[in-house]
Amino acid sequence: MAKLIGVISDTHGLLRTEVSEKLSGCDLILHAGDIGSHAVLDELERISEVIAVRGNVDRLDWARGLKESECLEVEGKKIYLIHDLGRLALRGLPKAVDIVIFGHSHRPSMETKGGILYLNPGSAGPQRFNIPASMVLLKIRDSLIIPEFIEIQT
């Protein structure tokens, strides 16, 4: 059975209508930090189940309950969620991880190293650094991992 996961990061308090529309129908939403406000989480939770981690701008009381990283399993694939990939060296990577999802740089990227897919959806929030806003729809089906990058109109 296939699972569709919406992957976003760096919303910085802005949840665009287009992002919400693309996330509808997702079985799960992963937010890789720099959420910016509890209102963003509330809106995401109206769409689907949400797992989010705290980013460097998520410092107010509403964010205290968020962890710096999360590890979960979807359709037999182990996913590690963290905001800043640079902090991974400090924390270490759990064993048998298939996908590392991160944000922070606002730059969408995908790279496989040592059999692990490293995936940054880019920033779904305010456009910065002349980089288009983006997100990922991640499909996991029959042990396949199929990421689709989506550029968001700003």
Q: Is 111 helix (H, G, I), strand (E, B) or coil?
A: strand
What is the count of structural domains for the chain? 1
Q: Which residue range forms the structural domain that includes residue 79?
A: 3-151
Report the CATH number that the domain containing residue 62 is assigned in CATH. 3.60.21.10
User: Taking Cα atoms as reference points, which of 19, 18, 65 lies closest to residue 38?
Assistant: 65
The yes-or-no verdict on residue 149 having pLDDT over 90 is yes
Average pLDDT over the chain reads 93
48: buried, middle or exposed (CB in 10 Å: 19+, 13-18, 0-12)? middle
DSSP lists the bridge partners of residue 139 as 4, 146
The yes-or-no verdict on residue 89 having pLDDT over 70 is no
Tokens found for residue 114: 């040592």
Q: How does pLDDT run across 4-56, given as a tens digit for each residue?
A: 999 999 999 999 999 999 999 999 999 999 999 999 999 999 999 999 999 99
The yes-or-no verdict on residue 60 having pLDDT over 70 is yes
Q: How does pLDDT run across 105-118, given as a tens digit for each residue?
A: 999 999 999 899 99
Q: Which of 6-10, 59-63, 73-77, 83-87 has the lowest mean pLDDT?
A: 83-87
The yes-or-no verdict on residue 72 having pLDDT over 80 is yes
Q: 77 with 117: CB under 8 angstroms?
A: no
Tokens found for residue 107: 């730059």
